[in-house]
Amino acid sequence: MEQSGEIYEELMLQVEGLSGEIAQQLRAEVTRGRLVRGFELSARERRLRDQRITDTESARIGRADVAVIEYDGDQRLRLLCEALVTAARTMAASRRALIGLLELTDLSGNQIVFADEDDPSPRVLNIGVQAREAEWRRGIVEQELAPLQQELSSWL
């Protein structure tokens, strides 16, 4: 995809604005690169790696060896989309599971109160509201990223 690098950076800026920790984890994953066995390297990746090895006077990669290869723009974008969809689905599923747990233990209502001896104002979390919000957000994330994911899949 032609503009995948720009789209990736634009989305990452939005993720950083919402959750710096998630953005940091995603950037770390992209920086690490992907592990590829020697026989799985494309001709282009093999040439690039061979050139780097020649430059550093290292041994060539064997068919059974593993190499670390940088993600290209499409792969970074695909990884980001998958991470965002997975996070949204996980948030919704965890709230559904919590509601199920509350129902299973016969605790009345969908509220959890977080209290601290040192804090006079406890925090009340309405799991029902949280679950509906998480489902709504999951739907938005999936809907917004679906065209992009479809386009990325067509490039495989």
Task: Report the predicted TM-score, pTM, of the whole model to 2 decimal places.
Answer: 0.71
In a domain, 130, yes or no: yes
| Domain assignment of residue 147, given as a range | 4-33+70-154
In a domain, 92, yes or no: yes
Number of folded domains in the chain?
1
Q: What is the pLDDT along the chain (156 residues), one digit of tens a residue?
A: 678 888 888 888 988 888 888 889 988 888 888 777 766 767 777 777 677 777 666 666 666 667 677 888 888 888 889 999 999 999 999 999 988 888 787 766 777 888 888 888 888 888 889 999 999 999 999 999 998 888 877 755
In a domain, 27, yes or no: yes
Beta bridge partners of 116: 119
In a domain, 12, yes or no: yes
In a domain, 22, yes or no: yes
3-state secondary structure of 105: coil
Which tokens is 83 given? 């991470």
